[in-house]
Structure 1
Amino acid sequence: MDLPIVDFSSWSASEGEASRRRVAQELVNACQQVGFVRIINHTLPEATLDEAFDWMKRLFALPEDEKMKAPHPEGWTVHRGYSWPGLEKVTQVKSTAEYEEARDRLREVPDVKEVYDIGSDKCATQPNQWLPDSSLPGFRAFMSQFYWDCDRVGRDILRAIALGLDLEDIDHLTRKHGGNNNQLRLLHYLPVPAEDLENERVGRCAAHTDWSSITMLFQDDCGGLEVEDISRPAMFVPAAPVKNSIIMNVGDLLQRWSNDRLRSTNHRVGLPALPDRFVGLSRMTRERYSIPYFMSPDDDSVIECIPSCMSEEEPAKYEPITRANYNKMRAAMMY
């Protein structure tokens, strides 16, 4: 299974309604069939992406005591700041009771990664946990701007999806996404003995779906992302990194909005594909850096079936729920 590729240049250049509609339909077709798509020729400059990865590497190279000046707050309510290896455990359980039962078993296989989460400084419910400027001068200013650069590109993708779903109002989705509930994640997967991953003594990121509307992912050249092949459940295939492309996937909220027309597909991070899987005779995995950006609606936005995805023959499958209540349900099971 290869990820579908959508060339976004026609959308960005405003070459006319027919060109934009073709891009929109290609995007929606990919979201229906795979749930993942590789977007090329988007409007985030290569230099900006290179700088983002450079800042991230400098961040995670800091001594532990410096990174701990912006710790992830205790518990799951605030999802910001630095998460040290072992704090976060990605799971796909769907209820608090199920998580409570499985927690000890899940914690036996820690996720060996460190994370720094960033949001909008205007989001009162999710206050950022910034490092002091003295720890990494310029980091906060760049990442604050990068956050909104990603939001701009994500809004164009949401408009294209709306057009591809035949919504009369192209801003039906973007109006529910003010930008202040998005999440920018800086991810560093640490080198570990390949044997520990192969024998499930440690993990990188277990199979899961995202609880956003859409996710945009930027990867380094290491690889390791795997996407479930929906024609062969439980079979995962590599999604190879391609420099400067965006891997975009449907999140759970957009699947609910679209009445399951668009797919929120399972994915995970495992061993990189050969031949660059290991470093040295000790079979240590390469470290991996990636940047997912989650587009999420405003807290009071109601997630309910959009008009073009329902009919008398195909009524809405899900009860309406606010984004805030859905997030509480999922975030409580993350930490």
Structure 2
Amino acid sequence: MASSTGNIPIVDFSTWTPQSSSEERAAIAKELANACHNVGFVSIINHAIPPALLDEAFGWTKRLFDLTNEEKMLAPHPDGPTVHRGYSWPGLEKVSQVISTDPQVGEKLRAVVDCKESYEVGSEENAEQPNIWLPEPVLPGFREFMTSFYWQCSKASREVLTAIAAGMGLKVPESLLKFHSGHNNQLRLLHYPPIPAAHLESGSHARMPAHSDWGSITLLFQDDCGGLEVENQFVPGEFVKVVPVKHAMVVNVGDLLMRWSNDWLKSTLHRVTAPPADHRFTGPERMIPARYSIPYFVAPDGDTVIECMPECVTESNPVKYEPVTQREYQRLRGNLQY
């Protein structure tokens, strides 16, 4: 980890193209897989999502969250932890690493309020996770753009999965793609409103507590505010601040890909807290500015059985996890979230 610069490894994806030589693609794949093994996080530049498209996505995101509460509540997140779609208002969601079926545990976790709002989008063909759209007149063009952007991200994620698999030395690097149709992914638009720094420093509020992601990989696009931190794999409990790189795609390994790889790939704890520079705090209350980010969660299809890949098992490194379906694991991890 490049802790001296306060950043995660950066991989230039410009030579991961059909026109590139096999040697060039192999070098990129190895670099990417090693970053996912050693850190669990990597920043990819010159990837498949054009900068202009990302700028447009952030423009739509800001317009969405600039709507009134009454307008945003025309597409409310459903009650309970089963469907993750529509608008989640500040305080509705509680992110944590705790797995429990006891509702009292969830209530205790909510003593610390997560100060963020989000909007979730998925595939129109996923009957288990039906989209909840704003009425078209409220934000004309939003649904059309986000549907297109969702599938652009899906296409990019398939290239990243293939590259990671190739870098790991899987016999068929495209083998993971058959489990990832794209219909079980989740596009999340996130807004962290301004908040007094003292609220985060006292621990009474949080932006996003430390957690790992549930799926295979996550693609993250973020503004320049800062605040993302990643746990140092070599010093548990120590978090390293991630310096935003304009238009970069931050990729992290999720729990299921870690299970598939028998822990060779790392699903690393990460969180969002105050940005690193004091000069970003404004006014007598030392207000932390707003932050916008767009994570794209890549998950296997619901019936997929996640079990250790044969290439990841040795006599000295036996299988660590029992098989589990994506649907079972999501239900387990998401029980206390809403």
SS across alignment from 1:207: strand
Kindly state the Cα deviation for residue 108 of structure 1 after the two structures are TM-superposed: 1.3
CA distance in 2: counterparts of 1:5 and 1:53, whole angstroms: 22
CA distance in 1: counterparts of 2:280 and 2:311, whole angstroms: 45
SS across alignment from 2:206: coil
Kindly state the Cα deviation for residue 282 of structure 1 after the two structures are TM-superposed: 2.4
Kindly state the Cα deviation for residue 139 of structure 1 after the two structures are TM-superposed: 0.3
* Backbone CA RMSD of aligned residues: 1.1
CA contact (8 A) 1:83 1:115 kept: yes
Q: 1:331 aligns with which of 312, 334, 337?
A: 334
Matching of residues 81-160 of structure 1 within 5 Å: 81-97=86-102, 100-160=103-163
SS across alignment from 2:55: helix
Kindly state the Cα deviation for residue 13 of structure 1 after the two structures are TM-superposed: 5.2
Q: CA-to-partner distance for each residue in 1:100-132, whole Å, 9 max, x for gaps?
A: 343232111110100000000000000000001
| Pairing 1:27–2:20 present | no
Kindly state the Cα deviation for residue 217 of structure 1 after the two structures are TM-superposed: 0.5
CA distance in 1: counterparts of 2:40 and 2:267, whole angstroms: 6
Kindly state the Cα deviation for residue 315 of structure 1 after the two structures are TM-superposed: 2.0
1:51 corresponds in structure 2 to: 56
SS across alignment from 2:118: strand
Paired amino acid for 2:52: A
CA contact (8 A) 2:106 2:336 kept: no
Matching of residues 192-203 of structure 1 within 5 Å: 192-203=195-206
CA distance in 1: counterparts of 2:203 and 2:89, whole angstroms: 20
1:168 corresponds in structure 2 to: 171
Kindly state the Cα deviation for residue 306 of structure 1 after the two structures are TM-superposed: 1.0
Q: CA-to-partner distance for each residue in 1:299-333, whole Å, 9 max, x for gaps?
A: 11110111211123322111111111111111112
SS across alignment from 1:115: strand
Q: 1:189 aligns with which of 186, 189, 192?
A: 192
SS across alignment from 2:224: coil
Which sections of structure 1, spanning at least 5 residues, go unmatched? none
CA distance in 1: counterparts of 2:165 and 2:279, whole angstroms: 39
* TM-score computed with the length of structure 1 as normaliser: 0.97
CA contact (8 A) 1:14 1:20 kept: no
SS across alignment from 1:289: strand
CA distance in 2: counterparts of 1:205 and 1:199, whole angstroms: 15
| Pairing 1:273–2:276 present | yes
1:322 corresponds in structure 2 to: 325
1:37 corresponds in structure 2 to: 42
**Does 278-287 or 203-212 show the bigger shift?**
278-287
CA contact (8 A) 1:214 1:248 kept: yes
CA distance in 1: counterparts of 2:279 and 2:322, whole angstroms: 46
Q: CA-to-partner distance for each residue in 1:168-203, whole Å, 9 max, x for gaps?
A: 112111110000000000000011111111111211
Q: CA-to-partner distance for each residue in 1:49-92, whole Å, 9 max, x for gaps?
A: 00000000000000111100000000011100000000001011
Q: 2:294 aligns with which of 283, 291, 294?
A: 291
| Pairing 1:16–2:39 present | no
Q: CA-to-partner distance for each residue in 1:193-232, whole Å, 9 max, x for gaps?
A: 1111111121111000000100010000100100011111
CA contact (8 A) 1:167 1:307 kept: no
SS across alignment from 2:126: coil
| Pairing 1:247–2:259 present | no
Q: CA-to-partner distance for each residue in 1:19-73, whole Å, 9 max, x for gaps?
A: 1111110011001110000101101101100000000000000011110000000
CA contact (8 A) 2:99 2:335 kept: no
Which runs of structure 1 show a deviation greater than 3 angstroms over 4 or more consecutive aligned residues? none
CA distance in 2: counterparts of 1:284 and 1:275, whole angstroms: 10
